[in-house]
Structure 1
Amino acid sequence: MRRVRLFTIIGGIFGLIGLVLLSVGMALAASTASFMASAQRTDGTVVAMTARNTTTRGSDGHTRRRMSWYPTVEFTVEGRRYSFRSSTGSNPPSYETGENVPVAYDPGNPSDARIASFWSAFLAPLSVGGLGVVFTPIGAVLFVKGRRMARLRAWLWKQGRPVWAEIEHVGRDFTVRVNNRHPYVVHATWQDEQTGRTHTAVSDYLRHDPSPRLQGRTHVRVLYDPADPDRNLVDLDTHPS
């Protein structure tokens, strides 16, 4: 897979996820604000703390478990007792059994209630929206970088200076994962006749081992920008004449 394509795809995915998270966060915040503005207030008591395990898988593939504690609150409206379990949990617990807490409830439906503190009410919208704030600019930066790399690649194909570079290494790039696999790359070097400097070019990410494709070849064609030889691309398909 071309690096430019990888950056564009990942950037697009991150940007889309970020926009969705931002939209969901804003919708949750607006809904919560509307509820809190029209809700009645009373006092409630934490009657239980319920533990709930959540499992996440990190980028390294390892599974991590985290325990959060969710309070169950009881309150009374017009002599009738109601209870609810908060949708917001924390570790360590934010409340203790027997603790008094403010409660906001729908006067038309008191069973629709929540703890009337800022963090309890708005933690979910802030968390979701915060992830959106992080994902969106990362996605935008990667996407823009991918588009710039695409334009550079097109320019190099048309106007890049060709040189036959010596193949130095063919193998996997263990610093990157594409589709959960380390891609193959080809490293080639050449010496600039004018400056005497040695430059290195690295191929696109390759799904399959290119060694059979390069059998018997010691050099590959590289197209580079004379003003900046580090801006280059490796052409594996052109053979020496």
Structure 2
Amino acid sequence: MHNGRLLTIVGGIFALVGLVLLCVCAALAASTAGFLASAGRTDGTVVELTARTSTTRGSDGHLRSSTSWYPTVELTVDGRRYSFQSSTGSNPPSYSEGERVPVAYDPDDPSDARIASFGSAFLAPLIVGGLGVLFTPLGTILFVKGRRIARQRAWLWANGQEVWAEIEHVGRDFSVRVNNRHPYVVHATWRDERTGRTHTATGDHLGHDPALRLRGRTHVRVLYDAADPDRNLIDLDTHPSQR
């Protein structure tokens, strides 16, 4: 059984970030809706597309770049010409040079304007809200799972049956990554004399090779639930000489 502390921490962070993103989404949507409700309306013309390139580092450690195109729109209000660059970019470009687009502007300051289509006006709230909808339930699930594992571990430490299991394997767990590295894990097996079945215990994910801690040892202490031996944990800190 793996330590539930990491899941609890990660889940709590994800859920908190998700709630913050949902609040930001609501604030952005309310601000945009308020602006559109009081704005003047006209048509503008896309006069330029500006490319912006951003670089991010992927989970594999490699740098990746992406380019988005931001339209600059020109509009005329009361005979005066204004222009603005949209805060929303896309790849491929959502507009082409010379294209006519609906524009909403502040009557007191026509230079404060934005493209009035739903996609352009509400894209930022939709993106932020979508991330919030993803992070909040995911974080909640991880948090609840981590707390459940922590309670199970606490029960095993207090009430688990003790057995000295034979170390079967010590090595990296290539099925997961922690801090972009495969953690080490210990597997141990024992035979239940009552049922004749063989059970396997899997230790916590470890950042360092436990081989030095286990040098010369062939068995580790395992605490398990007698009603369900597959619910167990490995105690690496207790030495066989302490039996």
Instruction: Work out whether the TM-score is over 0.5.
Output: yes
Moved more, 224-233 or 101-110: 224-233
- The AA in structure 2 aligned to 1:169 is H
Moved over 6 A (4+): none
Once the two structures are TM-superposed, the CA of residue 239 in structure 1 deviates from its matched residue by 2.2
- The AA in structure 2 aligned to 1:117 is S
Distance 1:20 1:34 in 2: 21
Distance 1:209 1:49 in 2: 53
Quote the residue 2:85 is aligned against.
85
Quote the residue 2:181 is aligned against.
181
Instruction: Tell me the SS of whatever aligns to 1:206.
Output: coil
Query: 1:15-164, aligned counterparts within 5 Å?
Result: 15-164=15-164
Instruction: Tell me the SS of whatever aligns to 2:69.
Output: strand
Once the two structures are TM-superposed, the CA of residue 174 in structure 1 deviates from its matched residue by 2.4
Distance 1:62 1:28 in 2: 33
Distance 1:99 1:183 in 2: 54
Query: 1:2-17, aligned counterparts within 5 Å?
Result: 3-17=3-17
Distance 1:207 1:69 in 2: 43
Q: Are 1:192 and 2:197 an aligned pair?
A: no
Q: Is the 8 A contact 2:57 2:64 kept in 1?
A: yes
- The AA in structure 1 aligned to 2:73 is V
Distance 2:12 2:164 in 1: 35
Distance 1:53 1:207 in 2: 36
Moved more, 82-91 or 166-175: 166-175
Once the two structures are TM-superposed, the CA of residue 150 in structure 1 deviates from its matched residue by 0.7
Instruction: Tell me the SS of whatever aligns to 1:3.
Output: coil
- Give the number of equivalent residue pairs: 240
Q: Is the 8 A contact 2:54 2:67 kept in 1?
A: yes
TM-score after normalising by structure 1: 0.95
Say if 1:118 and 1:101 are closer, same or farther in 2 by CA, change over 3 A. Answer: same
Distance 2:189 2:172 in 1: 17
Distance 2:183 2:44 in 1: 58
- The AA in structure 1 aligned to 2:159 is Q
Moved more, 150-159 or 221-230: 221-230
Moved more, 229-238 or 80-89: 229-238
Once the two structures are TM-superposed, the CA of residue 223 in structure 1 deviates from its matched residue by 0.7
Instruction: Indicate the RMSD between aligned Cα atoms, in angstroms.
Output: 1.3
Instruction: Tell me the SS of whatever aligns to 1:66.
Output: strand
Moved more, 33-42 or 18-27: 18-27
Task: Please list every run of 5 or more consecutive structure 1 residues that lacks an aligned counterpart in the other structure.
Answer: none
Moved more, 180-189 or 143-152: 180-189
- The AA in structure 2 aligned to 1:52 is R
Q: Are 1:227 and 2:221 an aligned pair?
A: no
Distance 1:139 1:113 in 2: 37
- The AA in structure 2 aligned to 1:184 is Y
Distance 1:228 1:198 in 2: 13
Task: Please list every run of 5 or more consecutive structure 2 residues that lacks an aligned counterpart in the other structure.
Answer: none
TM-score after normalising by structure 2: 0.95
